[in-house]
Amino acid sequence: MGVQKLEQLYEGKAKKVFKTSDPDLYWIEYKDDATAFDGKKKGTIMNKGVLNNKITTHFFKLLEGKGIPTHLVEQINDREQVVKAVKIVLVEVVVRNIAAGSLSKRIGLPEGTMLPKTVLEYYYKDDALGDPLINDYHIQVLDLATPEQMKVCAEIALKVNTILREYLKDKKIDLIDFKLEFGVHKGQVILADEISPDTCRFWDVETREKLDKDRFRRDLGNVEEAYKEILKRLTGETI
């Protein structure tokens, strides 16, 4: 790929973003840093950057193949990707199939309860506010996205859920819930950020073992092993 990595634009909790010689492209570097609870808990998960880069690339290619527009252009190496330059929409879209985490706390459904219908939620991407739950009215008042853009986000989120749920079932993984982020590129809303054990809850279909970041959040141990297991089930690759 002929594009050159230039100066850093931004450092997030899990990734760094760099400009490139092409104004339409960014260069992303995945880090091993792990945070939870809006950055209040900090740690490192060995090789997380490599694992999440590979896992995200795998999912984004799968989704592109099914007609979902994503920011992915190319995986460059173990930790880096070149992506389309986007302006991130400051709304995190969460899709839930089974009650867990903050949903269980908020509405009192025990973790593991199958939801009779898919739940879609929006959170305001603002660490200082603790990423609060918001609705369409809040999104308009804060001018975070237009109603048309939110319609696209919701449609893509539900399609991603259908595709990944079925795909993961085959790999003996239950997709409990996940978070997506979107970006605007040349006026089009596309899938951005990552899809990884940091941003999804994955449970083994049979044992119900957690294979995601809850192992870090809840100090369950074998965190790196869980991320490796996900990569292995998706691509057969061991690192």
Question: Length of the chain in residues, anyone?
Answer: 239
| Per-residue binder mask for ligand ASP (CB under 6 A), 190-229, x = binder | -----------------------x---x------------
Direct distance between the N- and C-terminal alpha carbons of the chain, in angstroms, rounded to an integer: 25
Return the SS3 of 224: helix
Give the CB-nearest residue to ligand TMP: 101
DSSP 90: S
Contact call for residue 137 and ligand ASP (CB under 6 A): no
We find the least distance from the C-beta atom of residue 19 to ligand TMP, in angstroms, to be 25
d(CA 101, CA 96): 10
Could you say which of ligand TMP, ligand ASP, none residue 145 binds, taking C-beta under 5 to 8 angstroms by partner kind? none
180 binds, among ligand ASP, ligand TMP, none (CB under 5 to 8 A by kind): none
Stretch that binds ligand ASP, among 35-43, 82-90, 143-151, 164-172 (CB under 6 A): 35-43
Using CB under 6 A as the binding criterion, the count of chain residues that bind ligand ASP stands at 8
For 19, phi then psi, to 5°, come to -70, 165
Sign of CA dihedral 222, 157, 91, 89: positive
Residue 131's Cα: distance from chain center in Å? 15
- The three-state secondary structure class of 95 is strand
Q: Which helix (H) or strand (E) holds 73?
A: strand 72-75
* C-beta neighbour count of 84 within 10 angstroms: 19
Stretch that binds ligand ASP, among 3-11, 34-42, 137-145, 202-210 (CB under 6 A): 34-42
From ligand TMP, ligand ASP, none, interface partner of 217 (C-beta below 5 to 8 A by class)? ligand ASP
Residues that bind ligand TMP (CB under 6 A): 94, 100-103, 131, 177-179, 199-201
Contact call for residue 5 and ligand ASP (CB under 6 A): no
On whether the CB atoms of residues 162 and 170 are closer than 8 A, the answer is no
| Complex with ligand TMP: residue 28 or 100, whichever CB lies closer | 100
- Which positions lie near ligand ASP, rule CB under 6 A? 13, 35-39, 213, 217
